[in-house]
Amino acid sequence: MSEFEIVAREDFSDVTYMLEIRHPLMARAARPGQFVIAMLNEHSERIPLTIADFDRDKGTITLVIQAVGKSTREMQQECKVGTSLYGLVGPMGMPSEIGHAKKAICVGGGLGVAPIYPQARALKEAGAYVIGIVGFRNKDLVFWDDKFRAVCDEFIVCTDDGSAGIKGFVTDGIRLALEKHDDIDEAIAIGPPVMMKAAAEATRPRKIKTMVSLNPVMVDGTGMCGGCRVNVGDKVKFACVDGPDFDGHLVDFDDLMTRLRRYKEVEKTAAERWSENCRMGQVREAVRPGAN
């Protein structure tokens, strides 16, 4: 039995998929907010992925992945139940501080919906009144609705087109929660940088503590490469060892988004080359003597 065997998989859309991986030691050690670095094979890129769930009894961790680049698309194609990952390191990063909030909002946008779940569950277990707010483009992309409703006292689904829940962005959900409750004392937001920036601005007038989870480009995950540096207030931090959670009211999101855009062309080229190699492989298989 492989140490990193994939024991369950679910596809939420044509690009978003869930992998449940057997790793008893990691499942026991994992805390909300932490991440892993995964490798599909010995030649693969090292990919940082936030832990979306963990089950200590089953000895598994759950990752929710979006196939947007070469490596994540390759994983989407090859990771099936019964196969294994070549490498899985973690849990890494500082666990989220689940304090003494009496009422908190947990905001997830897009792929950030998955890692906000363990945060909401931990807050609920700590006795907080939890308001979950999640955002998707449309109803076909909604996932884990039941899981969230089981740990949230209130749950708001936002879709860009209004096909599920309310029409609008997560900031519209935040506005509704703030209008209804004047005693919210903490917010956690996970999603694309532009979404987290908007969430932090929505809570700023009320001076509500707002934590965000940053996932910049990482290489080694130990702070030595410096690739994941982010500006927080007047200090430079390294997301892999100082984070990934930071005060959203202090993060320089504009700098973060600029840094992320620097690698777009490289990522695009790698994905195109991989797609071409896949097509060539399919052509060779189709013309192989004896092939059907």
- How much is the pLDDT for 128? 94
pLDDT tens digit string along 146-161? 999 999 999 999 999 9
Least-confidence region, from 23-27, 55-59, 87-91, 282-286? 282-286
Q: To the nearest whole number, what is the mean pLDDT of the chain?
A: 86
> At residue 30, what is the residue type?
A
The encoded tokens of residue 37 equal 């670095």
Handedness of CA 207, 209, 213, 216 (dihedral sign): positive
Q: What is the mean pLDDT of residues 166-187?
A: 94
pLDDT over 60 (residue 270): no
- pLDDT higher for 199 or 48? 199
Q: Above pLDDT 70, what percent of the chain?
A: 85
Lookup result for tokens 């959670």: 245
Segments making up each domain of the chain, as ranges: 6-92, 103-260
- 70 falls in which pLDDT band (50, 70, 90)? confident
State the Cα–Cα distance between residues 245 and 259, nearest whole angstrom: 18
For residue 46, the tally of other CB atoms under 10 A from its CB is 14
Cα-to-chain-centroid distance, residue 137: 16
174 neighbors 184 (Cβ within 8 angstroms): no
Q: How far apart are CA 13 and CA 8, in angstroms?
A: 16
Tell which wins on pLDDT, 291 or 169: 169
Residue 14, SS3 per DSSP: coil
Q: How many whole angstroms separate alpha carbon 210 and alpha carbon 202?
A: 10
10 Å Cβ neighbour count for 48? 22
Mean pLDDT of the region 208-218: 84
Predicted local confidence at residue 220, as pLDDT: 63
Q: Does residue 274 carry a pLDDT above 90?
A: no
Pick the CATH number of 103-260 from 3.40.50.80, 3.40.50.300, 3.40.50.1370, 3.50.50.60: 3.40.50.80
Quickly tell me which residue has 């892999």 as its tokens. 240
What's the CA gap between 244 and 277, in Å, rounded? 35
User: How confident is residue 251, by pLDDT bands cut at 50, 70 and 90?
Assistant: very high
Q: Is the pLDDT of residue 265 over 80?
A: no
When computed from its CA atoms, the radius of gyration of the chain, rounded to whole angstroms, is: 20
Residue 230's pLDDT band, with cuts at 50, 70 and 90, is confident
* Domain 6-92, CATH among 3.40.50.1220, 3.40.50.620, 1.10.1660.10, 2.40.30.10: 2.40.30.10
Structure tokens at 6: 């994939």
Predicted local distance difference test score (pLDDT) of residue 288:
59
pLDDT for 1: 43
Note the pLDDT tens digit of each residue in 29-38: 999 999 999 9
pLDDT at site 277 = 63
Between these two residues, 90 and 215, which has the higher pLDDT value?
90
- Ranges 115-129, 210-224, 254-268, 270-284, most confident: 115-129
| Position 127 pLDDT exceeds 90 | yes
Share of the chain above pLDDT 90, in %: 54
